[in-house]
Amino acid sequence: MNKLVALLVTIVVILGVASMSIFTVTEKELAVKFKLGKIVKSDYEPGLHFMIPIVEQVKKYDRRLLSLDAPPARFLTSENKYLLVDAFAKWRIVNPALFFTKVAGNEGEANIRLSQIIQKGLRDQFGKRTIQEVVSGERVEIMDIVAKNADESARELGITVKDVRIKRIDLPEEVSESVFKRMR
């Protein structure tokens, strides 16, 4: 009887260790393996993989396209007029090891850093143009330039920026009121 109990306990322990040694990576995930806190490997293909329990850990990230929808911000044009600009970006993690190193693998921190990069790009582009240029013909050009520059800067974070779009451009409320008064 004791041998049977010992055999069952041994089988349960072996199965437990074996289950802790296996991890899967799906098509929509990126994985980074750590050994005692240091990055060992980060280029896993989708499928079944193995690790040493307790000594190695795996952190997974989303491979899909992610969104950044920052709150509207004020930008100054070349005419020294403020505009409220609401923009968003689409981005993706391309280097999970670098992503972990630069932003501790935190999507929220990546959103904050990316938002700063995009706002700087928008500020630079709006500062070179008048309200008329921003609202009418050069809006697509502004988005393309900001997206290209943001992508170059974001590569240092292990991410790529796929697109930056301006949802809305408004005059600040105090300026809008004065425009409406002049129109009346």
Q: Which uninterrupted H or E stretch holds 81? A: none
93-97, 128-132, 140-144 — most confident range: 93-97
Q: Are 134 and 142 in contact (CB under 8 A)?
A: yes
Classify residue 76 as left (phi > 0), alpha (psi -120 to 50) or beta: beta
With a pLDDT cut of 70, the percent of the chain lying above it is 95
Task: Give me the mean pLDDT over the 109-132 stretch.
Answer: 92
DSSP assignment string, 2-52: HHHHHHHHHHHHHHHHHHHTEEEE-TTEEEEEEETTEEEE--PPSEEEE--
Beta bridge partners of 76: 82
**pLDDT class of 135 with cuts at 50, 70, 90:** confident
Give 23-54 pLDDT, tens digit per residue: 999 999 999 999 998 999 988 999 999 999 88
| CB neighbour list of residue 78: distance below 8 Å, 6 or more residues apart | 127, 128, 129, 130
Query: In the prediction, which pLDDT does 180 show?
Result: 66
Task: Give me the mean pLDDT over the 69-73 stretch.
Answer: 90
Query: In the prediction, which pLDDT does 175 show?
Result: 64
Amino acid identity for residue 138 in this structure: E
Query: In the prediction, which pLDDT does 85 show?
Result: 92
DSSP assignment string, 126-173: HHTS-HHHHHTTTHHHHHHHHHHHHHHHHGGGTEEEEEEEEEEEE--H
| Residue indicated by tokens 């322990």 | 13
Q: What is the overall mean pLDDT for the chain? A: 89
Query: In the prediction, which pLDDT does 146 show?
Result: 94
The pTM (predicted TM-score) of the whole model is: 0.83
Query: In the prediction, which pLDDT does 93 show?
Result: 96
Pick 143 or 17 by higher pLDDT.
143
| CB neighbour list of residue 82: distance below 8 Å, 6 or more residues apart | 74, 75, 76, 171, 172, 175
Query: In the prediction, which pLDDT does 134 show?
Result: 83
